[in-house]
Amino acid sequence: MNIRGILLVLGMLYFYTAGAQQSREPEMIFVEGGSFTMGNPNGDMDEKPAHKVTLSDFYISKFEVTVAQYRMFCEDTERPFPAAPPSTPDPRTGEDWYYEHDNVEKWVWKDDFPVVNVSWNDAMEYCKWLSDYTGRKYRLPSEAEWEYAARGGDKSKGYSYSGSNNPFDVAWFDESTSESGLRKVGTLKPNELGIYDMSGNASEWCLDFYDMKYYGKSASKNPKGPTEGQFKVIRGGAWYFVSDMAELTTRDGPRPSTANWYYGFRVVIAD
């Protein structure tokens, strides 16, 4: 084999190895720090008061953590993969979930779909595994980081949803999915920073404890949320909910052990 052929083979091996390495890691988007008004003076009580927050630079994943990425974590740590469709009652109708959503097998556990049915505790374990594997410090976004990134950071155009005032442009929610489930990540339009699905698709866990009155006492620089609590923040709405739940400032606070068919997450790298 001549030198050109050897270099070609070595190059192919390099890119194959690099691709295998990168396949474990979410693609990240740089978010330049800055100041913004967090919350909504016209929103629900837990979205008030609107207040100024200043954040340092960070990176956030371009997409929600996918089934394929989460499966690698489960295989490496010998953890069970999230369970099959539950037979528990639907929270809104009281009917059996499996039979109401008998098409769940058509979308669940596809490699390029968001992983769901993961708790906050599960997401934290994933971040620890990814940090140990890569040597980089991955974690869940703080609630302030999540909202700033969803708004488009320093490129924000002031939209109500992440990337548009029209939820159909950027969000999978109950009217755009007919409650038929998740969609492949990155299918709709990105926001101003090139981030996908921060409105709709899967709801996303944040690092912070949830306190509906926290905004009245929040730190103004790099806030990390309350120091204690029983619940954790989740953001962004989901395929199962109306469009209002996908608005940028809407908040909720499930227990960290809760997992269901619309809870997923994305990650950040930050100091």
Task: Give pLDDT, residue 153.
Answer: 98
Per-residue pLDDT tens over the stretch 152-211: 999 999 999 999 999 999 999 999 987 678 899 999 999 999 999 999 999 999 999 999
Task: Give pLDDT, residue 50.
Answer: 98
Structural domains in the chain, sorted by start: 26-269 (3.90.1580.10)
Per-residue pLDDT tens over the stretch 95-104: 544 434 445 5
Q: How far is CA 58 from CA 34, 62, 231, 240, in A?
A: 11, 12, 25, 30
Mean pLDDT, rounded, for 59-74: 97
Using 50, 70 and 90 to split pLDDT, how confident is the model at 23?
low
For residues 211 and 225, what is the distance between their CA atoms, to the nearest angstrom?
8
Task: Give pLDDT, residue 151.
Answer: 98
Residue predicted with more confidence, 129 or 261: 129
On the question of pLDDT at 116 being above 90, the answer is: yes
For residues 238 and 146, what is the distance between their CA atoms, to the nearest angstrom?
15
Task: Give pLDDT, residue 24.
Answer: 78
Task: Give pLDDT, residue 92.
Answer: 54
Neighbours of 23 (CB within 10 A): 10
Using 50, 70 and 90 to split pLDDT, how confident is the model at 56?
very high
What does the mean pLDDT of the chain come to?
87
Using 50, 70 and 90 to split pLDDT, how confident is the model at 18?
very low
Task: Give pLDDT, residue 105.
Answer: 54
